[in-house]
Chain A
């Protein structure tokens, strides 16, 4: 066997092996890129699973969220206590319109549960909308319930009524969902008639009330409910 034959044999034997190494190597690289949630190969360390933190979580919203959750007892004790109007006003330190504006980016996430006058009972349509919104948690960490009342009646009565509406929402969630995190997720506010009444801008949002039932008094006999996709 001459030297030329030996070299040719070695080269022929080596070619498929080299091609194989290259092919497998590129397959591995592709796999590294496609089987992780990392967005870029610039960061070889896999990301850690985390709750959502969407672009609308601006400084003001985060501040309100933190203050309200602290005032409601949620962040300290992990238990729902709820915020009364005077607490909500003091923690918000802003006008009602500005407070409501913070929630405008939630138009596709939120719902308005409309109650009958002087009632805190959920009817079938209310329960359906509430469940539908609660099931759509995605990556959100907190569920806000902001209950209100229309101005008829005394201020004190309306405070109590809005608290009952918030409690009614919470009771439905507790009854319908076996969610052990419920008490760490749900923040309750009841505003009565005193703060941040909803304007008719909100009539186009998902509501449980009839389509033509959206005068200011109608839409404020309500509980605004939404998952908030912000981390604190």
Chain B
């Protein structure tokens, strides 16, 4: 997914180190400091990194697990083609700010390449998600259906193409805050998917994704990441998300998460 220019990292569990990085980026973007004119960012000490890594490792396995990763109804779709990497399941809503920020952080840290992720869609949009009683991400249901339609080969568009478009247009799609506007723009960009996105079949297919989450008692939070079934702890503050994911992946290399 495409990173957005000057946005600091906005992820749950942002730690002091990554907050400092974010501040440096924000200050530079705002023009409050010019290169060479302001104070240099504080160097990150090895001991601080080691402490963060240790804390991240301590958290492994403390946030629950997926008891059942089976997919009898075919709700999971591949997010990448890293077939030999560590298998992971991600619960996502491409319209979500945190999902997009997560993608940017994984890419920036080079962690996306270390995982073979399959996704399960959980749009926070009450048009299709009965668990919400107020709107969170207008248009997320249509976007999720477009992802599934692309995955099912209902047009010439591929799943990565849809995800990349959402990443690039995310800010303006969210700013519209209107499902019909999102659907219109989606249709303009991917006319080959329009018929599928509006179809009862696609709605039923997305519904099965939501029911997959029910069957496994998942939290109604996005994103969530499960590496070999173990949930990666995002929620607790104090450790950066990249550090937490890295710790899980390092443990996997060292003998299993």
Contact = CB atoms under 8 A, between A and B. Distances in A.
Nearest to B237: A28
Interface string A131-144: 11001111100000
B210 interface: yes
Contacts of A116: none
B221 to A, nearest CB: 4
Interface stretch (A36-44, A75-83, A163-171): A36-44
A7 interface: no
Interface string B70-97: 0011000000000000000000010011
B210 A31 contact: no
A49 B23 contact: no
Contacts of B222: 35-36
Query: In the complex, which of the residues A34, A35, A51, A132 has the most CB atoms of chain B within 10 Å of its own CB atom?
Result: A35
B131 A31 contact: no
A: contact size bracket: 35 or more
A49 B207 contact: no
A180 B73 contact: yes
Interface string B1-27: 000000010111010000100110011
A28 B14 contact: yes
Interface string A26-66: 01100110111111000000111111100000000000000
Interface stretch (A17-25, A152-160, A209-217, A218-226): A17-25
Interface in B28-49: 32-33, 38-39
A136 B14 contact: no
Given A20-B27, A28-B10, A34-B97, A50 B214 contact: yes
Interface stretch (B132-140, B150-158, B160-168, B244-252): B132-140
12 contacts: A20-B23, A20-B27, A24-B26, A31-B10, A34-B137, A36-B220, A39-B133, A49-B218, A49-B219, A131-B200, A139-B130, A180-B73
Interface of A: 13, 16-17, 20-21, 23-24, 27-28, 31-32, 34-39, 46-52, 131-132, 135-139, 178-181, 229
Interface of B: 8, 10-12, 14, 19, 22-23, 26-27, 32-33, 38-39, 72-73, 93, 96-99, 101, 122, 124, 128-134, 136-137, 200-201, 203-204, 207, 210-211, 213-214, 216-222
Given A34-B137, A37-B220, A229-B130, 4 more contacts: A17-B23, A23-B8, A24-B22, A35-B96
